Amino acid sequence: MSSSRLAPPIIVEEGVDLEFFESLEDVGRCLEPWATTYLDFVAFDSEGRGLELDIELHVEHRKWLPDLKVELVRVRAGESEPSHAEELRALVSEYCAAVGVSVDSHAPLEKLLRAAIERAGFTS
């Protein structure tokens, strides 16, 4: 599945913490490649589609210096249909309660995400 069909924001859960990313590029820029190997990240798009975080080797060719090899985190869909919407809704609802955001725990996912992002902001 193409990453263009993913619906930002991207939500990354690690333990009890959630991070919200405005774009796929922000995920790649902000998450450390080593962390995706050693920590238990779970990622979703805003519709509840499960995502996979992979490490990709990127080579930057430089004119006067040796090539620079950089590991980057890449996000790709782990499924074509969003089958984790209820799991994501529960995570965001728990997060809102933990950080003191007053929102109905039975509210639609979109409303919960909006409230959580308003409180936490986007990771950049």
Q: What is the total count of domains within the chain?
A: 1
Whether residue 19 contacts residue 54, with contact meaning beta carbons closer than 8 Å, is answered with no
Tell me how far apart the alpha carbons of residues 50 and 88 are, in angstroms, rounded to a whole number. Answer: 9
Q: Which amino acid is at 38?
A: Y
Residue-number span of the structural domain to which 41 is assigned = 3-120
Q: Is residue 15 left, alpha or beta, with left meaning phi > 0 and alpha meaning psi from -120 to 50?
A: left
Q: What tens digit of pLDDT does each residue of 91-101 get?
A: 999 999 999 99
- The pLDDT averaged over each successive group of 10 residues in the chain (124 residues) is 78 93 93 88 96 93 93 93 95 95 92 97 94
Q: Residue 76 has which token pair?
A: 């790709």
- What pLDDT, on the 0 to 100 scale, is given for residue 10? 97
